[in-house]
Structure 1
Amino acid sequence: MKEKNMKKLYLFILTIALSIFVVSCSDIELSLDQTDYTDQIEALAESIDQAVPAVVNANFSLPIHEDYEIEYKFNDEMFTNEFIYESPFYDRDASLEYTIKRGKTELSFSSEFRHLSLESGYNATKIYLTLPVPLGQVGKEEYVQANVRVETRKNGVGIIEHETNAAQLRGRGNSTWFLSDKKPYRLRFDENTSILGMPKAKNYVLLAEYADKSLMRNVITQKMVSLMDNLPYSLEVRFVELYVNEDYRGVYVLTEHVEVHKNKFMIESIPGEVNTGYFFEMDQRFYDQNITPGWDWIVVRDIPYEIKEPDPDDLAFTSAHATYLKAYIESVENALIAKSNYNNLINLDNWIEHFIVHEYVKNVDVGWSSVFMYKEKDGPLQYGPLWDFDLAYGNADYIDYGPEGFYGMRQYKNRMFKLMMDILEVRLLYREAYNNFYFDVLPELLEMIPVLSESISEMAHRNFLKWDIMNSYVWPNPSEVLAQKTHAGQVQYVVSYMNLRAEWMLNEINNQAFYYGNFGD
């Protein structure tokens, strides 16, 4: 038995020794390979360089070779056989670095490309809708069946990105619906669908941006929101050119429909429970309609809110939901008035950033409509997502639209904003947050705008050939907007407004009058 065990031990030791010997031989063989592979590696690098697209806005395959070790690197991230695209904040020049090694020869290279953002006009996206009726027969109430084809460029190559006949179209909007023949639309697919990298959902919106001659105000705002720390959700936006029944309709902004959705802005809302998630909108248009509050609408001290979630059409929804939400909003207002306990009822950081955006851009709707709010179960009251900024940035002649002067923190504008800013502690936090916004957010945003504007310049040219409005008054354009006769001039007006407004707010928010709650009333 002892002899048998010794044989086993001997075989085990022999096996280990042979393994070490084989590995050592391999290492010796590799170390003995002193061949200079420079020419072969440079030839391989040239083929890799040719495989890297000149324009990148999607994933692409990376060459591999069994005889060479190839290590790819981009933005400090390593890749093997596929480049994984992530959208930059705006278009920029970039380079893919790679190291190729064989034997003792190791060389490093880089391939240059233009890295496009998802919002870039250079994506050259066109949406073709074919309807069974003339576009003029499409209204706001009833959907019309639509065939949809989405064409775009993927890494510089034209493709059909999506095509289906399982979709519908209807009109949307309020003043924008009646403003011109270039109308906004709701596009709805029969099933959750992702187009152009946007979250899978049935509902999309096509914004006409008719009164916004820069075509960019809503896009700029959503990009701004994406840089903020305490705003819950920035909507995806894409510049597209729209064709309906083969008729060119101009530049539109394709974006998400504002809604609670598992793939987008998600809060759990259960109609059968009172203490659940709520999503609702402050909307003064309530007073233009013959509506009795207490079900899907509530009115708190003359401010109307429409409940979106829980779904008021759900059989499990009851008036108890309206009662609960109304009581909660009243408790928030009471706490703000008392300047006590409000931190337990609202997400103050969220409120501050929300109203920094509204105040900075002087949004006309800050106290009117499209002001969305939500509350998760047992959670604080919060604002978002932000929506509808085409009449901001000095583009509404019926308000004090200039870059100077406080706007939203008025009793007759946004009551919550006013109550919040009556509290010294909140004003000091607002001051700190605005200073951070000025120094950390605005520089990148202002760098983005000319790059994005340049990318849509050819699209904009075609748009204004179709809609010849540069020399015409479009409600509610101020005289300064009417004075700009080119798309580039319109964008420059927005940029100038942003710079002037930013400086004015920086000075005013950091002075004594603001500290004491004097907003120039």
Structure 2
Amino acid sequence: MKKLLLLCFTLAIFNSKAQFLTTSTLPIIVINTNGFQITDEPKIKTDFKIYFNGFGKTNSVNDKPHYDGFAGIEYRGSSSQTFPKKGLGIELWNDKSESIEFPFLGMPKESDWILFASYNEKSFMHNVLTMRVARAMGLYASRTEYVEVVINNVYMGVYVFMEKIKRSEGRVDIAKLKETDISGDDITGGYIFKADKTTGSTLGSWRSKFPNYNAPNNFTTFLYEYPKTITAEQRAYLRNYVDKAETALQADNYRDKTDGYRKYIDTRSFIQLFLLNEVSKNVDGYRISTFFYKDKDSKGGKIKAGPPWDYDITYGNANYCEGDSPYGFSYRFNYVCPTDFWQVPFWWERMLGDSAFVKELGQEYGFHRKYGALRDSYLKQQIDSLASALQEPIKRNFQKWPILGTYVWPQPSPYAGSWEQEVIELQNFLTQRLQWLDNNIKTDFAITDSEPALTEMNIRAFPNPFLERININIQSQYAEKASIKLIDMLGNIIFEGNEFLKIGDNEFHIELPENDIVSGEKILIIESNNKRISKKLVHQ
């Protein structure tokens, strides 16, 4: 009995310590609701402060606040609202409850923000890591920072402070659509829409005309997201444009580069979102929390996939529909769980029936695995960096919320008994996942030599055939300047530039606008220190 009392007393001390936060290596957010209860809707007015002295510095509630003002706050999320630690939607307000903007934590200024609770994702890394990978790929994705939160003098734990998906120059940078923009080029953009549950939707939705694969009675529902003051004319325009894109995808000639689906869809953004969903094994990918946007026709006007969103139930953190397996494609969800209400839109499987799309996909994946955001070294560096930032604060979080080693929906068993083990599980899953994808996403690294490579400089150019990107690897024995040319068979220069080589590996790429390339053989010429090497390449 004495031991039991001592244990209870010790736990009480730990919980008490977790309640009163005065200093942290993370920014500290302090919220006072002034006696009002936070609800799902509407937002309530609160006192809102952030203490932040700069990255790498200790923060204290006794310091001058980074921000000291008001904010409208409400609970956010769907299934996550059933958890005791809840996510929060934040809108910065002035004293008259009018929206204002502020550049939090080095991010572009805005008024709308999110505090993501990460209650059922215990490593606290799935969303943050995926957003970092997305940005490294070239997609816009929400910027994120870890923070610790105190509400009404009660410590609430570690949260992820992140940008809300929104039309803005610093976020989804598309044209602002006014209520008066109802004809001509004006009405063509910008729009944000999504495939998602209808929870929390206030702008309405429409249903696809085409059933999804392996689910003949299932039709994707698309939700209007922006503009918030969307008119009847604008609703009709966006719905009709998406209908045209889907009709083009269903047509017999859908692979045609001029009149097929590429007329309406930006394939590279779809490929990049595909890679994020597949690398993370996103069991909810494509079918839930999947955003799209469209700018004005005068600014390109095609449907783009993204921004990426909602990656907590990823990297093996799902005990349903094979979400815990590092094997299998997420886009094939309809064949794994054909009775689920939310099915993957037919778009993805249809595009993967286009050999040119598959080649682009392999090219993008191969590039990022070898040089970009999916390199093993890059991913390890990101995880190590996040682990370092969380090392001390995460202990307080799990003192407040002692859920390690217990089941929280939808975590598969066995349940990691420590936060460190949660991180190891993430690393192990990612390793197995990438190994499987390496064996199941087709990449082509073949080259055709027109001249033998010299021993002083070895050249590799891939993939071949190529589309719009040529990845080049040069192993040089000297530090020297090299000139690079890409010419067609008539001698016309398509690309010309210079690279300064270092001794050893040199990696770079040539990326060409699609309109500047025509099919057929090309010659890649690299000259350095009176040496000349050429490679014959074929453009698909």
TM-score, length of structure 2 as denominator length: 0.66
Residue 180 of structure 2 aligns with which residue?
272
Contact 2:52 2:66 in 1 (8 A): no
Amino acid of the residue matched to residue 161 of structure 2? L
User: Which of 322, 326, 333 is residue 239 of structure 2 equivalent to?
Assistant: 326
- Which residue of structure 1 aligns with residue 225 of structure 2? 308
3-state SS, counterpart of residue 187 of structure 1: strand
Deviation at 1:414, TM superposition (A): 3.2
1:171-224 CA-partner distances (Å, limit 9, x unpaired): 11100011x210000111111112211221111100000000101111001100
Please point out which of 312, 315, 335 is paired with 1:390. Answer: 312
Match 1:375 to one of 269, 287, 294: 294
Q: What pairs with 1:343-422 in structure 2 (closer than 5 Å)?
A: 343-378=262-297, 379-401=301-323, 402-409=325-332, 412-422=343-353
Give the drift of 1:273: 2.4
| Aligned CA distance change for structure 1 residues 157 and 467 (closer, same or farther; 3 Å) | closer
Aligned-pair CA distance for 1:282: 2.6
Query: Residue 101 of structure 2: SS of its match in structure 1?
Result: strand
Contact 1:182–1:249 at 8 Å: present in 2 too? yes
Counting only pairs closer than 5 Å after superposition, residues 10-409 of structure 1 correspond to structure 2 as: 123-133=25-35, 137-154=37-54, 156=57, 158=59, 159-178=63-82, 180-190=83-93, 191-229=100-138, 231=139, 233-268=140-175, 269-274=177-182, 275-286=187-198, 296-301=204-209, 302-311=219-228, 313=229, 317-337=230-250, 338-340=254-256, 341-378=260-297, 379-401=301-323, 402-409=325-332
Q: Which has more helix, going by share of residues?
A: 1
Distance in 2 (CA, whole Å) between partners of 1:470 and 1:240 is 20
Distance change in 2, residues 1:498/1:289 (3 Å) = closer
Question: 1:336, CA displacement in angstroms?
Answer: 2.2
Q: Distance in 1 between matches of 2:57 and 2:109?
A: 24
CA shift at 1:511, angstroms?
A: 8.3
Please report how far the alpha carbon of residue 439 of structure 1 lies from its aligned counterpart in structure 2 after TM superposition. Answer: 1.7
Query: Which SS does the other structure have where 1:193 is aligned?
Result: coil
1:448 and 2:382 equivalent? yes
Question: Is this contact kept in 1: 2:193–2:224, CA < 8 A?
Answer: yes
TM-score, normalization by structure 1 = 0.68
Larger radius of gyration: 1
Q: Is the 8 A contact 1:150 1:160 kept in 2?
A: no
- Aligned residue in 2 for 1:71: none
CA shift digits 1:115-142 (9 cap, x unpaired): xxxxxx98421111111126xx311112
The yes-or-no answer on 1:438 pairing with 2:369 is yes
Whole-Å Cα distance in 1 between the matches of residues 310 and 408 of structure 2?
17
Q: Which runs of 5+ in 1 are unaligned?
A: 1-120, 513-521
RMSD, aligned α-carbons: 2.3
Percent identity of the aligned residues?
27
* Contact persistence 1:409–1:415 (CA under 8 A): no
The residue identity in structure 2 corresponding to 1:414 is P
Is the 1:123–1:153 Cα contact (8 Å) retained in structure 2?
Answer: no
Q: Is the alpha carbon distance of 1:289 and 1:194 closer, same or farther for their aligned partners in structure 2, counting shifts above 3 Å?
A: closer
Count of paired positions:
377
1:456-508 deviation digits (Å, cap 9, x = unpaired): 1111111011100012100000114x1x1111110111111111101101111
Show the counterpart of 2:9.
none
Give the SS at the match of 1:485: coil
Unaligned runs of 5+ in 2: 1-22, 94-99, 210-218, 335-342, 445-540
Q: Does structure 2 conserve the Cα–Cα contact (< 8 Å) formed by 1:457 and 1:487? A: no
CA separation of 1:408/1:489 partners in 2, compared to 1, >3 Å: closer, same or farther? same
Contact 2:191-2:238 at 8 Å conserved across structures: no
Please tell me the residue identity of whatever aligns with 2:192: F
- What SS is found at the alignment partner of 1:475? coil
Matches of 2:239 and 2:88, distance apart in 1: 32
